[in-house]
Structure 1
Amino acid sequence: MVADKAQELDKFDLQGRRANKISSPLSQLKMSSVFYTYSSMRQPWGVKIPAIPSSTMFHLVLEGEAVVAVDDVLIPLGPGDFILLPRGAGHNIVDVNHTPARDLFENSLEKVTEHYDCLTINKHGHGKVTTTLCGTVLFDNELTASIISSMPDYILITERSKTYQTIQTMVQAIQLETRNDGYGAGLIVSKLADVLILQCIRAWVDEVSDNSQHWLMAHTDKRLSRVIKKIHSDPAAHMDIESLAELSNMSRTSFIEYFKKKLGKTPKKYITDWRLSLAREKLSHGDSHVLHVALSVGYQSEAAFSRAYKNKYGEPPSRTKNTWSI
């Protein structure tokens, strides 16, 4: 009888684990809209977006060009380009002439619905026009917060990105709806933008993670969730196996074995792969010097970083940077 009960429990556990593998944590991402803004801006223009804690922001360029400035990084955007700022960092979005930015709320905002505004700058001017859809959303649960905290300062998806085709249809649908004055247009744009953000997150996870399903599942693992959060929240920080094992409440040996079982690689290799994946993304989409990128992901010298990078990707970081800058 005890044996039968044990078999039932094993069967239940196996079914649960199978269900967990099938049901991605992405399905548990819950968003509540704060606001979306459709903007038509004629040069010269520049908008300063304040930081909003516990939020995620995005900009989608529908027409024209723009530049987003996050800290010291300048990210040029063209038609169809989509940038996500996972942790709601303060930033500027300006024209290609880098016109000084004015605070968002110093501009004229027209309220369309509770969650949807229109912004117009220099309506009667003669400069080139840029139209964008921008937004800020809040996430509702701890799992979502954990995943978001693991992401870089920004995620950029352009037509050159491997995953661009997956969001192209949604971009086109948003373009149509933002030009539609019909009933419920504002609500439809908000819902479409929600889906677009989920697609962007999924695309980024697939691009930077060798095994995205295992990476996501680690966020729900009671022993590993704090470890994953620490590794992802500050890639430049010094990390040793002993301190990570402490976070998991396991011995060093048990932690290494458990980590490898769940994520398919040792903690050391996982940290290295994660740092190099982030570095590759920064080199592909940013203008930072190779040494600056190396320091930002935890390497103390450009030489050590270049060796590790070439070993993983088969080319030096300078080639990645030059290829994407063409």
Structure 2
Amino acid sequence: MDNRVPQELSKFDLKQRQGKEVGSPLGQLKMSSVFYTHSTMKQPWGIKMPSIPSSTMFHLVLDGDAIINVCNSRVKLGPGDFILLPRGAGHDIVDINSTTARDLFENNIEKVTEFYERLTTNGYGDETITLCGTVLFDNEVTKSIISSMPDYIHIKANSKAHQTIKSIVQAIQLETQNESYGTGLIVSKLADVLILQCIRAWINDVSGDNPNWLVAHTDKRLSKAMKKIHGDPSANIDIELLADLSGMSRTTFIDYFKKVVGQTPKKYITDWRLSLARERLSQGNEPVLVIALDVGYQSEAAFSRAYKIKYGEPPSHTKSQRTC
């Protein structure tokens, strides 16, 4: 018996899988650039990292120990540990003795390529070696995803996700060290995968009581509703239909959705559609009416009113600013 999958079936299955991924907000996640630092720090050392808007930062400890002080939290990192700071918050990374952090630029920094640099400190004690990165993004969907995430995601060396994440970080390091044709594009794609892997690890570990819209995609009661919402932004999405898909009454569905996601279904749908629209407006090539209809609005006027309430400016202004 021939156990090979027919070519037509393989193509169909691939398209089905791709469709499911595109239906999730994670299918829209996109990073634009990565700046990478290989740091060798000898005690005593402490580095104050500035806040960088529209960025995600990470640290991978290759050897030694470190402490991250971020948003009133103290996170100890050992060999192999990885930490992601989704919103690029300013933070201190210091030695195990909590040495006072000094400004980043007071250390010895050697620029190797456009995307890669080496940092060393002036101490003589025990050594800590890290790979650190700043990942930049500018699309509205990515901002929406990142804004819903916690202050940090700590992935320990014994985590199931660790080996994959470490391999991606090292691939970025290798690519940035040996800059050549296509380096910028390649490292941004690797960064997409890195952030996706971190989000996956976080979702796998997060509590079911955590009000977060990404978690709703893995919630047994809400997953079908979320697929419906993201499957076609232009569709007329009825709350009763979403409730029925979730096996709940309308009132119970709204209450449960708000508990898990952190906002009502109506507001979530509106915010999601407007973030998609803002991303398309930033490209500057499509008429506002076309975008409005594609994200579920019946008229340009209704879309413009909702858009201005959320972003404080009309769609035409966003479009003209992005094309200047």
With normalisation by structure 2, the TM-score equals 0.58
Q: Matches of 2:138 and 2:195 in 1, distance apart?
A: 15
Aligned length, in residue pairs: 228
Cα separation, partners in 2 of 1:25 and 1:101, compared to 1, 3 Å = same
User: Percent of counterpart pairs with the same letter?
Assistant: 57
- Alignment match, 1:164: 162
Gaps of 5+ in 1: 1-15, 225-248, 276-326
| Aligned partners of 2:34 and 2:191 also within 8 Å | no
* Aligned pairs for 1:302-313 within 5 A: none
Determine if the alignment matches structure 1 residue 134 to structure 2 residue 132. Answer: yes
Counterpart pick for 1:269 among 243, 252, 256 = 256
Q: Matches of 1:262 and 1:118 in 2, distance apart?
A: 53
Counterpart pick for 1:205 among 203, 206, 218 = 203
| Aligned partners of 1:69 and 1:91 also within 8 Å | yes
Cα separation, partners in 2 of 1:183 and 1:85, compared to 1, 3 Å = closer
Aligned-partner residue type, residue 84 of structure 2: L
Gaps of 5+ in 2: 1-14, 207-214, 263-324
| Aligned partners of 1:25 and 1:216 also within 8 Å | no
| Aligned partners of 2:29 and 2:192 also within 8 Å | no
- Alignment match, 1:21: 20
Aligned-partner residue type, residue 194 of structure 2: L
Q: Matches of 1:127 and 1:92 in 2, distance apart?
A: 19
Cα separation, partners in 2 of 1:141 and 1:111, compared to 1, 3 Å = same
SS in 2 for 1:61: strand
- Alignment match, 2:64: 64
> Structure 1 residue 159: deviation in Å?
2.6
> Structure 1 residue 110: deviation in Å?
0.6
* Aligned pairs for 1:252-291 within 5 A: 255=239, 257-260=240-243, 266-273=253-260
> Structure 1 residue 219: deviation in Å?
6.5
> Structure 1 residue 63: deviation in Å?
1.1
- Alignment match, 2:55: 55
| Aligned partners of 1:259 and 1:267 also within 8 Å | no
Q: Matches of 1:48 and 1:29 in 2, distance apart?
A: 29
Q: Matches of 1:111 and 1:97 in 2, distance apart?
A: 29
| Aligned partners of 1:35 and 1:137 also within 8 Å | yes
> Structure 1 residue 138: deviation in Å?
1.6
Deviates more, 1:262-271 or 1:197-206: 262-271
**In the TM superposition, what whole-angstrom CA distance separates every residue of 1:51-102 from its partner, at most 9, and x where no partner exists?**
1111111111111110000122100011111111111111100001000001
Aligned-partner residue type, residue 124 of structure 2: H
| Aligned partners of 2:63 and 2:129 also within 8 Å | yes
Q: Matches of 1:108 and 1:25 in 2, distance apart?
A: 40
Q: Matches of 2:113 and 2:17 in 1, distance apart?
A: 43
> Structure 1 residue 143: deviation in Å?
1.4
Aligned-partner residue type, residue 268 of structure 1: D
| Aligned partners of 2:161 and 2:197 also within 8 Å | no
* Aligned pairs for 1:165-244 within 5 A: 165-170=163-168, 177=174, 187=183, 190=187, 192=190, 195-208=193-206, 209=215, 211-212=217-218, 214=223
Q: Matches of 2:114 and 2:203 in 1, distance apart?
A: 32
- Alignment match, 2:86: 86
Deviates more, 1:215-224 or 1:64-73: 215-224
**In the TM superposition, what whole-angstrom CA distance separates every residue of 1:148-184 from its partner, at most 9, and x where no partner exists?**
1110111111134343344354356568x49x97675
| Aligned partners of 2:112 and 2:177 also within 8 Å | no
Cα separation, partners in 2 of 1:174 and 1:77, compared to 1, 3 Å = farther
| Aligned partners of 2:216 and 2:226 also within 8 Å | no
| Aligned partners of 1:107 and 1:119 also within 8 Å | yes
Cα separation, partners in 2 of 1:108 and 1:145, compared to 1, 3 Å = same
Aligned-partner residue type, residue 144 of structure 1: T
SS in 1 for 2:111: strand
Cα separation, partners in 2 of 1:79 and 1:216, compared to 1, 3 Å = farther
**In the TM superposition, what whole-angstrom CA distance separates every residue of 1:233-272 from its partner, at most 9, and x where no partner exists?**
xxxxxxxxxxxxxxxx99xxx64x3554577772433444
Determine if the alignment matches structure 1 residue 45 to structure 2 residue 15. Answer: no
Cα separation, partners in 2 of 1:264 and 1:193, compared to 1, 3 Å = farther
Q: Matches of 1:126 and 1:66 in 2, distance apart?
A: 16
Q: Matches of 1:216 and 1:69 in 2, distance apart?
A: 35
| Aligned partners of 1:80 and 1:171 also within 8 Å | no
